[in-house]
Amino acid sequence: MKAAIHYDAARRLFHLQGGAVSYVIELIEGSYPAHVYWGPRLAGASPQLATAFRGRPSFSPTLLRERPELSLDTLPQEYPAHGAGDFRAPAYEARLADGTSVTEAVYESHRILAGKPELAGLPAVYAESDDEALTLELTLRDAYSGLAVILSYTVFEEHAAIARSVRFANGGSEPLELEAALSASVDFKTSDYDFLHLDGRWPMERGISRAPLQPGIQSVGSRRGSSSHNHNPFIALLGRRADEEQGDAYGFSLVYSGSFLARVETEQYGMARAQLGIHPDGFSWHLEPGAEFQTPECVLVYSADGLGGMSRTYHRLYRSRLCRGPFRDKERPVLVNNWEATYFDFTADKIAAIAREGGKLGIELFVLDDGWFGRRDRDDSSLGDWKVDPNKLPEGMNDLAERVRAEGLQFGLWFEPEMVSPDSDLYRQHPDWCLHVPGRRRSEGRQQLILDFSREEVADAIAEQIESVLSSAPITYVKWDMNRNMTEIGSAALPPERQRETAHRYMLGLYRVLDRITSKFPHVLFESCSGGGGRFDPGMLYYMPQTWTSDNTDAVSRLRIQYGTSLVYPISSMGAHVSAAPNHQVGRMTSLKMRGDVAMSGNFGYELDLTRFSEEEAALAAAQVAFYKEIRSLVQFGDLYRLLSPFEGEDAAWMIVSPDRREAIAFHFRVLAQPNPPIGWLKLRGLDPALDYEVAEIDLAGPGAAEPFRAGGDVLLHAGLALPDLPGDFQSRVWRLRA
């Protein structure tokens, strides 16, 4: 299906077609963009595809005397304004030089572009060639103030997604203040949907919350200066009977890493307005005449195949047209990270010993975590002083990297570049370089403050330090951490009228630094982190193709964390490690087998002291590494099908299928055992019903796997696999399928 954008000038109707989706906009009275349709792709816009009207009481003010049924308060709008007759939540609000906040931006012009323009200073999905996508730009203008509101819609050749963003341009003669500027707003004809979002906390991120829409406003968001552990910048509206395989699913995902608001308002006549963008609390943007402001991008995905179809659309788009650089399409290395093995207490000899054991197991990358710089023996000092601690590494970073490389492993490093410790040389030299408000206390989190990346000189100074370290040794991996949220948000470099721009300017500064460093070191695999999953968002994935999914490495907890994350984010973006038992976060004992099976459902690695493995454990770990190398291309780049939800019982299951459907890997996990259980059946998904498959149970821990057997794809899809009895808690099974 080709992407297409049709404009019917007689009916003033825009019909956007991309992948398997259509999106239709009508210009009411030639001026007001109304939302008409978003759903399965239509062959054409028939005469029945138009806005419906009905007269309402005087409490919904009308636009025209001759059309009493036309009211902005009831019109399904594309981008509603504040103050001009719509009492529902606005998508934007501007305070003008006269002190008022009433604007009415109406249609002025449009243009249709081949491809997809970049967003100035912001991450966004992209097209590699102009024939992959088409973009519609609708320019609206408020005649009184001269403010132009440019709505952008991109549809894709191969993806059932629409990328939306907004650009504001002050075409008037007076400055104004943008006090709200969301990225997308969609008015649905009905509110007969469930509201789904991903919530949580450190270290238990991205739980799934689903409930029917209720009258009024339901919202989630973050005011923390980051996308946060608590809520992800994603929501979905689901048909009441939608599940993994069927039903309407409408997804909204914000390509942004700062504070955000996602809300759905169910209004008096049963329509639902869904919106997503920068959180307006604490935000404003001063627009001088001639100046512009660009919102982040919101990616809208529609699926008629339930949550699973929605997720796979996001996965394919984000994996191939959000992530960038050489690692986008490369298999990711198996790594070992020393954090839970040593914490701050290590020497070069200890690191080399862990690397030596890793080399024996076939591990490909060693990552040196926190504690290698300044006087970093605890978490209360030295952030900002990115120089090697000679007490821990007397021969320097290059010597340690070469020792690790001599064991057959690449070498990686942890940084936390956005932070500064009050006990640091950098802070003593530049106490005004952190986010702060004069005369207010400076709140600390983890004994650290946040550097003011809205200031170019601050961001550049840190970037130069990081670049110096990365140039000093053969480093091929960077874990980029961020361990606190913003308070006292102010900048010493901004005038009073721009102080509320600080948080967004910080994000623009961060994105500029990330672009600079990742471009200068394309051979380095960058992984983002924020106390684990506190900034797992599309904005970071644009610069770093994977994220440390959670600081919680417990295998049972990870079932929910990784399952919830997969609603939006591809497996290739998820770091997943085997850690020690009992687990350091929850104290749970699980088998090395189960820990390995859970971690192999992501970018696989270890986070423990390999020198403490018994012979039996070392043999199993070596087998896990070897097996993962066999399947990692499938795991990292195949299509994910969720089979059993860990949020709904004691079992979890998912499978990954190759694009040609000739190969698959299926995982089943049981949390708590039951006495005298019934026989369970696991229906598989994504297979070709016309193919026969060899099904082999993989038990790397030893004998116990059943003999391989052959089965038709139709049988596996519709009858399923009989689940073997799993004695004891915390059990796992893995099957490999090949046509």
Among 423, 551, 639, 651, the active-site one is 551
171 burial level (CB within 10 Å; 0-12, 13-18, 19+): middle
Three-state SS at 627: helix
User: What CA–CA distance (Å, rounded) separates 589 from 691?
Assistant: 40
Contact status, residue 589 vs residue 581, Cβ threshold 8 Å: yes
> In the block, which residue shows the tokens 């934007």?
92
The verdict on whether residue 434 carries a ligand-binding annotation is no
480 known member of a binding site: yes
Asked whether residue 529 is marked as a ligand-binding residue, the answer is yes
| 8 Å CB contact between 685 and 679 | no
Residue 403 marked in a binding site: no
The string over 85-102, giving b where at least 16 C-beta atoms fall within 10 Å of a residue's C-beta and e elsewhere, is: bbebbbbbbbbbeeeebb
Beta bridge partners, 136, equal: 112, 153
Is 544 annotated in a binding site? The answer is no
Instruction: Find out whether 60 and 84 touch, Cβ atoms under 8 Å.
Output: no
CA distance 661 to 666: 13
DSSP notation for 353-419: HHHHHHHHHT--EEEE-S-SBTT-SSTTS-TT--SB-TTT-TTHHHHHHHHHHHTT-EEEEEE-TTE
CB 351 within 8 A of CB 366: yes
Would the CA dihedral through 596, 599, 603, 607 be positive or negative? Answer: negative
CA dist 298 and 183 (Å) reads 6
Tokens 């104290």 belong to residue: 587
Catalytic pick from 481, 537, 554, 651? 481
Q: What gap in Å lies between CA 39 and CA 24, rounded to an integer?
A: 9
Residue 130 is labelled as binding a ligand: no
99: CB partners within 8 A, 6+ apart = none
| Integer Cα distance of 391 and 517 in angstroms | 28
298 labeled binding residue: no
Catalytic status, residue 554: no
What token pair was written down for 701?
């821990």
> Smallest Cα–Cα separation from 567: which of 342, 124, 249?
249
- Is position 660 annotated as part of the catalytic site? no
| Cis peptide upstream of residue 203 (ω within 30 degrees of 0) | yes
Answer whether the bond into residue 175 is a cis peptide, omega within 30°.
no
Distance of CA 259 to the CA centre of its chain: 14
Q: Is 654 annotated as a binding residue?
A: no
Residue 345, annotated as binding a ligand: no
- Write out the catalytic residue numbers: 481, 551
| Residues in the annotated binding site | 202, 369-370, 446, 479-483, 529, 551
| Residues in the annotated binding site for substrate | 202, 369-370, 446, 479-483, 529, 551
